Structure 1
Amino acid sequence: MCGIAGLYHLTTPKPVDPARIERMIAAMPHRGPDGQGVWTAPGVGLGHLRLSIIDVAGSPQPMAASDGKAMLVFNGEIYNFRELRAELKGQGAQFHTDGDSEVILAAWQRWGPDCVTRLHGMFAFAIYDVPSRKLFLARDRLGVKPLFYAPLSDGSLAFASELKGLLAHPLLRRDIDPLAVEDYLTWGYVPDHRSFLAGVHKLPAGHTLLLSHDHPLPAPQPYWDVSFAERRTGRTADLEAELLHLLRQAVTSRMVSDVPLGAFLSGGVDSSAVVALMAEASGDRVKTCSIGFDVGALDESAYAQQIARKFGTDHRGRQVSPDDFEHVDELAAMFDEPFADASALPTWRVCQLARESVTVALSGDGADEAFAGYRRHKFQFGEDRARSFLPQALRGPLLGGLGAVYPKADWAPRPLRAKTTLLSLAGTSEAGYARALSILPPELRDTLYSPEFIRLRGDYRAEQPFEEMMRQAPGRSGLDRAQYADLKFWLPGDILTKVDRTSMAVSLEAREPLLDHRLIEFAATLPEALRLRRGEGKWLLKKTMQRYLPDEILYRPKQGFVMPISQWFRGPLAESARAIGSSAALSRIGWFDSKRLSALAEAHIAGHSDHGRVLWQLLMLDKAIGRLAS
């Protein structure tokens, strides 16, 4: 796992100052503590930070192709590099290292931009092709690895693994995009179709970008998508066997490492499945780690220990207090953009624990999105059935009117939140799912904004691109379209951003076997009844793993990393909540109603309402704005 950065002149190929590239990579030292390198030529400069995983003694970067006609900087891992190496060697390619970086270069020289379709793994890389003087940028299919880029006023394009790398360039403008604030207040993160800073872009997952001198900046080109439009047929037992084969293949391919390797183990279905298959494939004890909380309702450590005993892992656990609020500044700084998923704190904690004994850790991320494991999938399925009984022309006025006047009940479980359910049922399937996934619905967001922000935002609403993605999704049902949006919108924007930043903050490589693209493609073709059956999500995955895992692991209620942020804002962070209304950073941009923010905080502190998540969002936004001004 590494960090990359670079500059490429889209117009005149001016000289690139190596010191400028050095400053860009120096802003991300956590991504590569084992080495760094810079290469420049007329019109281009490439920088690399290395966290050594494969071919530890070799494969320095930037790396030249064997004939010197291409240069590479690469962040990630290619899991099928040995198979590709053998294929390319048979076609005349020569190799001087034992790693995967040189394989990417040879694949580029053999197949050009189509090389990405041959690569199985997680990656963000840049290749400069010397004869054509073109720069090729690529990002993996699911967006596990990030890549930011921005055109600059001198005619160059800067790119980096993190926004920090771009911010180190003096020509990068620091103007906040108001539409990104609308997106962030809705979702709790800035989705990949936008960046917190105006003019900065994120290369979308499954896309490439081919740049040429004397040509304008082109649009990214897709090379992969997932379709829910087809349905597998055949016996359930056969599909189960195929799924098990894909799971084994995904896990074992990610166990290749020249440095210590382990796994996160929460005791949930997904991480337990990964550990079970690692134990099956390994002759050595698998290293696992988990954290527990000193609050019983939040603690899953007993389940993790149960799995560790079952598979004889070398397990390390640590109990932490959920009162980690003193690390808020440190956490916010990891993300550059505002990021309000509070589970980032415990994720960072388990990454810290893992890094004490391993350099690579496998995680269980991705199965919920692929196999319909979230509770919201069950609600979406049920609400779509209810919508089918009543035409939109009747549902909208009737249920929407009832929902508007029904009292809000934040404290209740979602099935009992009649206001939320009525408003969801009143709209389309896409609008209902957007409401389920969002933190702040539009009618509440609007109460926070100033008239100036309302003017700047115009007709845009954060739900619009999400709902359009669902409408255009290759699928047959509302559940299909919801899962598609999860994989393409929620996963790279929230889950994978969280894991990348918190793991790289401690120089740990996190690998996600359940996001193997072949596994994702298979899951998308499963009939709905094999994903969600009688209210049980991930049905086929759980049935497949019954040979490994006990029922109390497979079928217990889902529990994720949870932090008591509402309690924090009524206790140790109460003054921070009160300060949000008068925050210098938020006041400076003038986009919020400060009196409304203060009233929100006081109502929460007094216990009249639960605004914990909103206050957390505002606090993280405040800190992100403040860092830009520093």
Structure 2
Amino acid sequence: MSGVAGIYYLDGRPVEEEVDRMVDVMEHRGPDGINTWRSEAVGLGHCMLETTPEDQHESLPLIDRGGALVATADARIDNRDDIIKTLGLQRPKGPPITDTELILAAYKQWGEDCPQHLLGAFVFAIWDEKNERLFLGRDQFGIKQLYFYHKNGRHFYFASEIKSLLSLSDVPEKIDELTLGIHLANGRPDGERTIFQNILRFPPGHALTATPCKVRRRQYWSLSATDVPSDLTDEEYAERFRNIFEEAVRCRLRSTRSVGSELSGGLDSSYVTCVAHRILRKSTDRNTLHTFSTVYDRFDECDERPYIQEVTKKEGIEPHYTIVEEQSIIDLLDEIYDYLDDGRVSGNHHLNWLTARQAGRSPVRVLLTGQDGDTTVHHGWQYFLELARGRKWEEFARLANQTIRVLQRDDGVVERQETWSEPEDILGDYGSVYLLRWAKKGNYLKLLSSLVEISKHFSVSPWLILQNMWREVVFPAYYWRKSRQSPSQPNVPKTIAPQFADDVGLKEYLSKRSSQSNEEPRHITARNAQARILKSSYLVSSFEKIAHYAAAAGVEARHPFMDKRLIEFCLGLPPQQSLSKGWSRAVMRRAMKGVVPEPIRQRTEKANLAAPFRYLLIDLGGGEIEQILRYDTGKMGNYVNQSYLSSLYKDAKEEKGSVSQDELHTFAKAISMLHWSRRR
């Protein structure tokens, strides 16, 4: 990943060497050059990582002819040919048109509407001297990072990394305590807030205009579905999906050097790898694809090498492996926090770090991923809710039986549905939602007719169902009001200091966000459940961390499943293209036929990484954790319940069964934050 930075003194002060400091602290993003430009109250900076052929002809910040426009960008524009044709930019001789030149040309043509004409991954800033304004834009899904700090009437700063903003003397390094608490409590993060007060994330799909009088931000794009015909055959849907996906991969293969691909052995990374391999094999110059996989020696049940090798045995693939158990999570956090400014690393993100690090030690500059494929190509379990809402119980039962047969085909179980062993389990998870709703509302006709139908297709007595909800049937008005007035209240984890939680109003915040996200069953469909995830701040935060890991390794991460065209197409599909004949993600499985090895295409299970996570954290990292818990953590110690953390660590170390996987992950978040604080 390249890097950008900039200063606009709204009060007219001249920019001096401070813009140089901003890029100097991001030197890992500029192995191919670091440059700055400044004029009076404006300064722009750029750190160059050359990844596309056009990058070799680019020198940023770019000064337009006449000097009225100056741009800096970290961008990969995928609809280059369309823009060149539309704007008449063909250049028969000489160097190719660079992506930043395309952005400037788009700005000249469409002004502040230019971002909506761009496809790809980008952040850019344009200084428009004539109109005395700074204009910024970020891509639709936030694949490229941008943060900013603004003080009315004084200054506006922006950069690809927070450390760049913190290098400025008037940007305070002050913790946003509510954001910290939300993270420690496993809450849903605010879309714009970072761990530092008043340093904000520039939101995806937005543009910003800064002038001496005001800073105005607007959303130029929102998530929507393509109008996909509803009467196509399964094969026709699969063909359309395949064509769009192959284009999403193809346009991400633009590279000056070898290309790499993450390969876990799952559906998503395998599909990306196989499609990239086929495209590269047709080229004459770059036909070797490097793959990067994290594997396990101690945990056979987690080792995906049999699936990985189904792909890597193809000619023209050079595999690279990293043994996960060689370093503790704490050791890996030490490496990560050398670059990452935000201490909110959690879950299995150390695997993303290992993959990026491995790629950085190879000849590649571009790393393809399968990230969030199961968001773009949704599993579609909520289709059961749609069938229940429509009281299509015969179809519900048929699909439930098909699903159980698929999941038990090889004794494999979809990870998030590990309690499903018979169709009645699916009925309990999805059908009962509406039965209970109708009981609470006193809608006895729908309830009783549904119970009669259910008894025809499931091995469950309607009387048993009524027995479990008799209170709602007898007192419907009371229980309906109660369910509306008293939504479930989230608990603040014991790992958080109670006084801190009270001071920042953490429980109230979590309750408010929980009530906002508790969508009424009548509103839930497979597609709007999918859209909710795509709009989630978790998604943006996750991709930002992956981008930081890639930048630290000197590579660029590219994500075919986050292609705008592909996402909009998938959002327009009928739900039966997600869940069909018991197979989730059906349209992609059909499209993969003949491209991905059959043992992978028909996978329904995922490796459970709970055991290695505990080993890496507790067994390998125990010594470091004990030091962290003994260390004087300063103010950060006021945020966590250190006595409880010590007790939880002791129980985990002694392998007491009372420590759940959720508790272990919450514990790891607190330890990670303490370690991050200790290093700063």
Contact 1:577/1:615 (<8 A) preserved: no
Partner of 2:261: 263
Q: How far did 1:464 drift?
A: 4.1
d(CA) in 2 for partners of 1:15, 1:211: 16
CA distance in 2, matches of 1:360, 1:104: 22
CA contact (8 A) 2:494 2:644 kept: no
Deviation string 1:214-233 (CA, Å, 9 cap, x unpaired) is: 22x33x31122223697740
1:204 partner letter: P
User: Displacement, 1:447?
Assistant: 6.2
One-letter amino acid of the counterpart of residue 4, structure 1:
V
Question: d(CA) in 2 for partners of 1:211 and 1:159?
Answer: 11
Match of 1:385 among 431, 441, 453: 431
Q: In structure 2, do the counterparts of structure 1 residues 30 and 468 end up closer, same or farther at CA, with 3 Å as the change threshold?
A: farther
Unpaired runs of 5+ in structure 2? 380-413, 442-468, 470-478
* Change beyond 3 A, Cα 1:464–1:576: farther
Counterpart CA distance in 2 for 1:463 and 1:75 is 38
CA gap 1:544/1:57 in 2 versus in 1, 3 angstroms: closer
- Whole-Å separation in 1 of the counterparts to 2:26 and 2:515: 35
Between 1:46-55 and 1:546-555, the stretch displaced more is: 546-555
Secondary structure of 1:584's aligned partner: coil
Query: 357, 366, 379: which one pairs with 1:352?
Result: 357
CA contact (8 A) 1:570 1:606 kept: no
SS at match of 2:593: helix
Given the superposition, is the C-alpha separation of residues 334 and 492 from structure 1 closer, same or farther in structure 2, using an over 3 Å criterion? farther
C-alpha contact (below 8 Å) 1:188/1:617 kept by paired residues: no
Partner residue in 2 for 1:303: 307
Q: Any gaps of 5 or more consecutive residues in structure 1?
A: 396-421, 436-440
For the Cα contact (< 8 Å) 1:332–1:620, is it kept in 2? Answer: no
Quickly say closer, same or farther: Cα 1:530–1:463, change in 2 above 3 A.
farther
> Per-residue displacement from partner, 1:452-507 (whole Å, max 9, x unpaired)?
4312226643474476367599x952433332232121553343123211111111
1:366 aligns with 2:372: yes
Task: Give the distance between the partners of 1:469 and 1:234, measured in 2 at CA.
Answer: 33
Q: For the residues of structure 1 that align with 2:75 and 2:89, how far apart are their CA atoms?
A: 25
**Cα pair distance change 1:565/1:189, threshold 3 Å:** farther
Moved more, 204-213 or 184-193: 184-193
Residue 325 of structure 2 is matched in structure 1 by 322
Aligned to 2:268, the other structure's residue is in SS state helix
- Partners of 1:93 and 1:476 lie apart in 2 by 54
Q: Given residue 336 of structure 1, which amino acid in structure 2 is its aligned partner? A: D
The CA distance in 2 between the partners of 1:29 and 1:463, in whole Å, is 42
* SS of equivalent residue, structure 1 residue 196: coil
Please state if 1:482 is matched with 2:482: no
> Distance between the aligned counterparts of 1:392 and 1:593, measured in 2?
43
Aligned to 1:506: 553
Q: Residue 31 of structure 1: CA displacement?
A: 1.6
Say if 1:588 and 1:546 are closer, same or farther in 2 by CA, change over 3 A. closer
TM-score by length of 1: 0.84
Supply the distance in 2 between the matched residues of 1:605 and 1:15 (Cα, whole angstroms).
Answer: 58
521, 541, 547: which is aligned to 2:588? 541
State the match for 1:141 in structure 2.
Answer: 140
Are the equivalent residues in 2 in contact too, given 1:178–1:456 (CA < 8 A)?
Answer: yes
CA spacing shift, 1:130–1:392, aligned 2, 3 Å: farther
Corresponding residue SS for 1:316 = strand
Aligned to 1:336: 341
Q: How much has 1:213 moved relative to structure 2?
A: 1.1
Greater gyration radius: 2
2:648 to 570, 582, 600: 600
What is the rounded CA distance, in whole Å, between the counterparts of 2:49 and 2:272 in structure 1? 24
Please give the alpha-carbon distance, in whole angstroms, between the structure 2 residues aligned to 1:561 and 1:88.
Answer: 51
Deviation of 1:207 after TM superposition, in Å, equals 1.1
Matched residue type, 2:378: A
Q: Structure 1's 256 and 206: CA in aligned 2 closer, same or farther, altered over 3 A?
A: same
Helix, strand or coil at the partner of 2:224: coil
Distance change in 2, residues 1:125/1:393 (3 Å): farther
Q: What pairs up with 1:360-509 in 2 under 5 angstroms?
A: 360-373=366-379, 376=416, 383-391=429-437, 442-445=490-493, 448-457=496-505, 460-462=508-510, 464-465=512-513, 468=516, 471=519, 477-489=524-536, 492-509=539-556
Map Cα deviations across residues 81-106 of structure 1 (whole Å, 9 max, x no partner).
23312322259999975311111011
Change (3 A) 1:524 1:153: closer
Find the residue that maps to 2:553 and give its secondary structure: coil
1:338-396 deviation digits (Å, cap 9, x = unpaired): 2333432222222233231211122112321111248559999974433111029969x
Note if 1:532 corresponds to 2:583.
Answer: no
1:414 is matched with which residue? none
1:127 correspondence with 2:179 = no
Once the 2 structures are TM-superposed, how far is the Cα of residue 559 of structure 1 from its aligned partner? 3.1
CA drift at 1:561: 9.2
Residue 461 of structure 1: SS of its match in structure 2? helix
**Pairwise CA RMSD:** 3.5
Runs of at least 4 residues off by over 6 Å: 91-96, 377-382
Partner of 1:413: none
Question: What residue in structure 2 maps to residue 173 of structure 1?
Answer: 172
* C-alpha displacement of 1:552: 1.0
Structure 1 residues 92 and 21: CA distance shift in structure 2, 3 A: same
AA matched with 2:197: A
Distance, in Å, in 1 between the alignment partners of 2:527 and 2:630 is 44
Q: Quick one: structure 1 residues 153 and 491, their matched pair in 2 at CA, closer, same or farther if it must change by over 3 Å?
A: closer
Q: Return closer, same or farther for 1:360/1:107 CA change in 2, 3 Å cut-off.
A: same
2:254 maps to a residue whose letter is V
Map of 1:233 onto structure 2? 230
Q: Residue in 2 aligned with 1:3?
A: 3
Structure 2-normalised TM-score? 0.78
Native 8 Å contact 1:176 1:198 kept in 2: yes
Instruction: Provide the rounded CA distance (Å) in 1 between the counterparts of 2:617 and 2:274.
Output: 39
3-state secondary structure, aligned to 1:210:
strand
Kindly tell me: are residues 127 and 75 of structure 1, through their superposed partners in 2, closer, same or farther at Cα, counting changes over 3 Å? same
Retained in 2: the 8 A contact 1:188–1:340? no
CA 1:183–1:566: 2 relative to 1, 3 Å: same
Q: Distance in 1 between matches of 2:38 and 2:255?
A: 30
Go from structure 1 to structure 2 and tell me whether the alpha carbon gap of 1:427 and 1:124 turns closer, same or farther (over 3 Å shift): farther
**AA of the residue aligned to 2:174:** D
Paired with 1:62 and 1:203, the residues of 2 have a C-alpha distance of: 20
For 1:328, give the aligned amino acid: L
Report the counterpart of residue 12 of structure 2 in structure 1: 13
Opposite residue 9 of structure 2, the aligned amino acid is H
Shifted more, 501-510 versus 276-285: the winner is 276-285
Change (3 A) 1:187 1:500: farther
Task: Tell me, yes or no, if the aligned pair for 1:189 and 1:338 is still in contact at 8 Å.
Answer: no
